Amino acid sequence: MDFQENRNIKFIHNQYLLEKAEKLKPQLIKHSISPTRLVDIVPDNTNVYNFSAKESHQSLDSLSNYSFGKGERIVFDFGDHYVGHFKINISSLGSPMDAPLFLHLKFAELPVELAEDSDGYQGMISKSWLQDEYIHLDTLPQTLALPRRYSCRYVAIDVIDTSPKWKAVFSKPVFTAESSVELNQVTPVNTKNKKLNKIDSIGLKTLQDCMQQVFEDGPKRDRRLWLGDLHLQALANYATFNNKELVERCLYLFGALPAEDGRITTNIFTFTKPIPDDTFFFDYGLFFISTLYDFYKQFQDKQVLDDLYLVAKQELDSVLTTLNKDYIIEPDKNWFIFVDWNMNFDRNTCGQAILIYALRQFIKLVEIENDQENITKYKAILTKMIKSSKEKLFDKKIGLFISGNDREINLASQVWMVLAHVLTNKENYNLMTKVIKLFFPIHDIATPYMYHYIVESLFESNHSNDAIKLIEEYWGKMVDYGADTFWEAFDPNKPDDSPYGSLAINSFCHAWSCTPVYLIRKYITHTIN
Q: What is the pLDDT at residue 502?
A: 84
Q: Are 152 and 82 in contact (CB under 8 A)?
A: yes
Clarify whether residues 34 and 84 are in a common domain: yes
- Indicate the pLDDT class of residue 529, thresholds 50, 70 and 90: very low
Residue 5 located in a structural domain: no
Q: Are 467 and 459 in contact (CB under 8 A)?
A: yes
Residue 49 located in a structural domain: yes
Clarify whether residues 201 and 66 are in a common domain: no
**291-306 pLDDT tens trace:** 999 999 999 999 999 9
Q: Are 30 and 177 in contact (CB under 8 A)?
A: yes
> How far is the C-alpha of 441 from the C-alpha of 299, rounded, in Å?
38
Could you give the count of Cα atoms lying within 13 Å of 279 in the half-sphere of its Cβ?
Answer: 21
**406-415 pLDDT tens trace:** 999 999 999 9
Classified as helix, coil or strand, 69 is coil
Residue 495 has pLDDT above 70, yes or no: yes
Q: Where are the alpha helices (DSSP H) in 282-410?
A: 282-299, 302-320, 348-369, 372-388
Clarify whether residues 170 and 313 are in a common domain: no
Give mean pLDDT, residues 347-351. 98
**Reported pTM:** 0.96
> How far is the C-alpha of 10 from the C-alpha of 247, rounded, in Å?
25
Give mean pLDDT, residues 20-28. 98
> How far is the C-alpha of 389 from the C-alpha of 221, rounded, in Å?
38
Q: What is the pLDDT at residue 2?
A: 64
Q: Are 87 and 144 in contact (CB under 8 A)?
A: yes
Give mean pLDDT, residues 422-442. 98
Above pLDDT 90, what percent of the chain?
A: 92
Residue 4 located in a structural domain: no
Clarify whether residues 165 and 309 are in a common domain: no
- Residues 6 or more apart in contact with residue 229 via CB below 8 angstroms: 210, 215, 217, 449, 510, 511, 512
- Indicate the pLDDT class of residue 119, thresholds 50, 70 and 90: confident
> How far is the C-alpha of 196 from the C-alpha of 476, rounded, in Å?
8
Clarify whether residues 203 and 242 are in a common domain: yes
Clarify whether residues 406 and 439 are in a common domain: yes
CA 433 and chain centroid, separation: 29
**356-412 pLDDT tens trace:** 999 999 999 999 999 999 999 999 999 999 999 999 999 999 999 999 999 999 999
Q: Are 395 and 417 in contact (CB under 8 A)?
A: no
Containing H/E element for 229?
helix 227-239
Residue 310 located in a structural domain: yes
Clarify whether residues 365 and 469 are in a common domain: yes
Q: What residues does 166 pair with on adjacent strands? A: 94, 163
Q: What is the pLDDT at residue 12?
A: 97
Clarify whether residues 188 and 118 are in a common domain: no
Give mean pLDDT, residues 429-458. 97
Q: What is the CA radius of gyration of the chain?
A: 25
**194-229 pLDDT tens trace:** 999 999 999 999 999 999 999 999 999 999 999 999
Residue 297 located in a structural domain: yes
Q: What is the pLDDT at residue 525?
A: 80
Nearest C-alpha neighbor of 250 from the set 441, 26, 64, 401: 26
**Into how many domains does the chain fold?**
2
Q: Are 39 and 56 in contact (CB under 8 A)?
A: yes
Residue 528 has pLDDT above 80, yes or no: no
Clarify whether residues 393 and 471 are in a common domain: yes
Domain boundary among the residues 179, 213, 231 is at 179
- Domain range for residue 330? 15-27+181-528
- Indicate the pLDDT class of residue 526, thresholds 50, 70 and 90: low
Clarify whether residues 55 and 187 are in a common domain: no
**142-186 pLDDT tens trace:** 999 999 999 999 999 999 999 999 999 999 999 999 999 999 999
pLDDT, the chain, mean = 96
CATH number for the domain spanning 341: value is: 1.50.10.10
What is the full DSSP assignment across 145-179?
Answer: E--S-EEEEEEEEEEEE-BTTEEEEEEEEEEEEEE
Exposed, middle or buried: residue 414 (CB in 10 Å: 0-12, 13-18, 19+)? Answer: buried
Residue 8 located in a structural domain: no
| Total residue length of the chain | 529
Classified as helix, coil or strand, 81 is strand
Clarify whether residues 62 and 165 are in a common domain: yes
Classified as helix, coil or strand, 35 is coil
Q: What is the pLDDT at residue 120?
A: 84
Residue 1 located in a structural domain: no
**234-258 pLDDT tens trace:** 999 999 999 999 999 999 999 999 9
The sign one gets for the Cα dihedral 227, 231, 237, 242 is positive
- Indicate the pLDDT class of residue 329, thresholds 50, 70 and 90: very high
Give mean pLDDT, residues 26-54. 97
> How far is the C-alpha of 112 from the C-alpha of 41, rounded, in Å?
8
What is the full DSSP assignment across 122-151?
Answer: --SS-GGGS-EEEEEE-SSSEEEE--S-EE
Nearest C-alpha neighbor of 381 from the set 329, 309, 306: 329
Q: What is the pLDDT at residue 241?
A: 98
Q: What is the pLDDT at residue 1?
A: 59
**59-91 pLDDT tens trace:** 999 999 999 999 999 999 999 999 999 999 999
Could you give the count of Cα atoms lying within 13 Å of 359 in the half-sphere of its Cβ?
Answer: 26
Q: Which letter does DSSP use for residue 189 in this model?
A: P
Clarify whether residues 125 and 89 are in a common domain: yes
**253-275 pLDDT tens trace:** 999 999 999 999 999 999 999 99
Domain boundary among the residues 132, 164, 179 is at 179
Q: Which letter does DSSP use for residue 218 in this model?
A: -
Give mean pLDDT, residues 433-437. 98
> How far is the C-alpha of 121 from the C-alpha of 250, rounded, in Å?
33
Residue 275 located in a structural domain: yes
Q: What is the pLDDT at residue 504?
A: 84
Classified as helix, coil or strand, 51 is strand
Q: What is the pLDDT at residue 496?
A: 86
Q: What is the pLDDT at residue 370?
A: 96
CATH number for the domain spanning 103: value is: 2.60.120.260
> How far is the C-alpha of 508 from the C-alpha of 506, rounded, in Å?
6
Domain boundary among the residues 132, 153, 179 is at 179
The sign one gets for the Cα dihedral 450, 455, 456, 462 is positive
Task: Give me the numbers of helices (H) and strands (E) for the chain, helices first please.
Answer: 15, 14
Exposed, middle or buried: residue 119 (CB in 10 Å: 0-12, 13-18, 19+)? Answer: exposed
> How far is the C-alpha of 48 from the C-alpha of 492, rounded, in Å?
10
